Amino acid sequence: MSTNNTSKEVETTGHVWDGDLREYSNPLPSWWLWTFYGTIVFSLIYWVLYPTWPIGNDFTKGIKTIEVKDEQGKVIYDGHWNTRALLLDEMRNSPAALRQKEGIEMVKNASYEQILASPEMMSFARSMAKGLFGDYCAACHGTGGQGVLPYFPNLADDDWLWGGKVENIQKAITSGLKGNMPGFPTIQGQALDDLALYVLSLSGEKVDAAAAERGKKGYAMCMGCHGADGKGNAMLGAPNLTDKVWTVANVPGAGSIEGMKQEITNVIHKGIKREMPAFGHRLKDYEIKMLTVYVHEMGGGK
């Protein structure tokens, strides 16, 4: 540092190092100083109002209190101010919560017939259920409800394993589902091929008629669930085999009759075990109600 740069106007601290090094003693800018004092005052006020200092096994709770009432006006929290209490309040009394509450009350107190008949309630249920479906259902059934063959069924077609009435759908969501078809490993060789071709013939696929006729005998084992006519049984979640809608066997994607047969023999041989988890404990009743009408509408429900 050059010596002639030393300004004479500014005071120094008086310290001298190495004979000629001095340190300026510039005063702090006053805006800075006052902001600093301000923060000290702020913290003093904060300590008095809000939870802050630990003492022993406890902590100072502050003098600010908050009271939260539930929907019925009952006090559910009355004590020192804190973020969890604020959240309790926000869940009930924030403008967004109140706006939603209006719609929820409406849907809560209405029957399914009333909801389905009311455009206003439907549009509210649709908007809320869309988010719920995205959070809880889309991972399996896809955002649009189109499903994933062979794991998760399509909800957007009007073809139902367990029935498409609102009661069926509500039950599916609340208690979950167990799709269960036992495997038939003892059916083998020609008998298996024939049976598979018979199943394909039920939905009008052009298969070897003689083989299908032979396979009809084996179908006796399947009737208990799929019905004598192959129309299925919604009580057991057994699908209709006569429509061209497939939920496990990838018949449409198989390309050839041989490929289709392979898909069907696979199902017969290994059986099926699919599970939809129950949402009764995770979702509130009105949320299930809204999802029910949403899914019902999605599939053009019955």
Partner 1 sequence: MKHESVEINSGLLIVLTLVAISIGGLVEIVPLFHIKDTVEEVKGVRPYTPLEQRGRDLYIREGCYACHSQMIRPFRDEMMRYGHYSLGAESKYDHPFQWGSKRTGPDLARVGGKYSDEWQTQHMVNPQALVPDSVMPPYPWLLSTELDYSDIEQRMIALKRTGVPYSLSEEEFRRNVEEYGEEMAKKLHIPNAKATLEEQAKSRNWDGDPSRVTEMDAMVAYLQMLGTLVDFSQYEEGYFAKFR
Binding site for partner 1 (CB under 8 A): 15, 17, 51, 54-59, 68, 70, 76-79, 82-85, 87-88, 90-91, 94, 96-97, 135-136, 138-140, 142, 148, 151-152, 274-277, 282
- Residue 177 touches which member of ligand HEC, partner 1, none, C-beta under 5-8 Å by kind: ligand HEC
- Residue 124 touches which member of ligand HEC, partner 1, none, C-beta under 5-8 Å by kind: none
The residue among 8 and 84 lying less far from partner 1, judged by its C-beta, is 84
Cα-Cα end-to-end distance for the chain: 90
The residue among 121 and 264 lying less far from ligand HEC, judged by its C-beta, is 264
In sign, the C-alpha dihedral spanning 212, 213, 219, 225 is positive
Shortest distance (Å) from residue 285 CB to ligand HEC = 13
HSE at residue 155, side-chain half, CA atoms within 13 A, is: 24
The pair of three-digit structure tokens given for residue 13, joined into one six-digit string: 């601290």
The pair of three-digit structure tokens given for residue 208, joined into one six-digit string: 């070897």
The residue among 264 and 276 lying less far from partner 1, judged by its C-beta, is 276
- Residue 202 touches which member of partner 1, ligand HEC, none, C-beta under 5-8 Å by kind: none
Q: How many CB atoms lie within 10 A of CB 151?
A: 11
Alpha-carbon distances, residue 80 vs 71, 90, 176 (angstroms): 21, 16, 42
Q: How many CB atoms lie within 10 A of CB 236?
A: 16
Task: Give the separation between CA 7 and CA 30, rounded to whole angstroms.
Answer: 22
Q: Hey, what amino acid is at 43?
A: S
- Residue 166 touches which member of ligand HEC, partner 1, none, C-beta under 5-8 Å by kind: none
| Interacting residues toward ligand HEC by CB under 6 A | 136-137, 139-141, 152-153, 155, 160-162, 169, 172-173, 177, 179-182, 184, 195, 199, 221-222, 224-226, 236-239, 241, 246-249, 264, 267-268, 272, 274-277, 279, 291, 295
Shortest distance (Å) from residue 90 CB to partner 1 = 5
How many residues in the chain? 302
